[in-house]
Amino acid sequence: MTPIKTMARIETSMGNLTIELDMEKAPITTANFLDYVNSGFYENTIFHRVIPGFMIQGGGLTADMENKATRDPIKNEADNGLANKRGTIAMARTQIVDSATCQFFINVVDNDFLNHQAPTPSAFGYAVFGRVLEGMETVDAIAGVATGSRNGHRDVPVEPVMIERITILE
């Protein structure tokens, strides 16, 4: 049986983070994230969207701004009772409710407007599936890097912020 709380280390070019994943409240999202971790998918991806006072997003693009091939999208678990508070990790998605694949973001501040409000496309929210236990200083440092536009994306760090690897902690 999988433990209810699983820990992972995100090693970045700016320092490491230890996150706690919530398998109990976000089982689909956590299992999806762990599948990507265990396959080595996140190695040498980047934080490609960095907005100070909001969040840092990564896990799907290479340093050349190329999208990596993903698995099928998962069910959105934003109605799980977990809130987009400072230090939480959530799944990025498109305007389509059940469109999350591999990309995740870490909230730099409380982003209550991203929480589940109603079972409608515009108010469904973004699924939180864990939180940062150690390394918020690294998250804050990443949130403070210089950004610009690149390959049609805005808020891209001028110097790539690499996700070197993510590993599960025993």
- 11, pLDDT greater than 70: yes
> What contacts 63, CB < 8 A, 6 or more positions away?
44, 46, 160, 162
- Average pLDDT score, the chain: 96
Res 170: pLDDT: 78
Res 139: pLDDT: 98
CA nearest to 166, candidates 33, 24, 30:
33
In sign, the C-alpha dihedral spanning 153, 50, 115, 129 is positive
Cα–Cα distance measured from residue 134 to residue 18, given in angstroms and rounded to the nearest whole number: 5
State pLDDT tens for residues 53-105. Answer: 999 999 999 999 999 999 999 999 999 999 999 999 999 999 999 999 999 99
Res 4: pLDDT: 65
Say which CATH architecture domain 6-169 belongs to. Beta Barrel (2.40)
What is the pTM assigned to this prediction? 0.96
- Going by pLDDT thresholds of 50, 70 and 90, the confidence category of residue 106 is very high
Res 49: pLDDT: 98
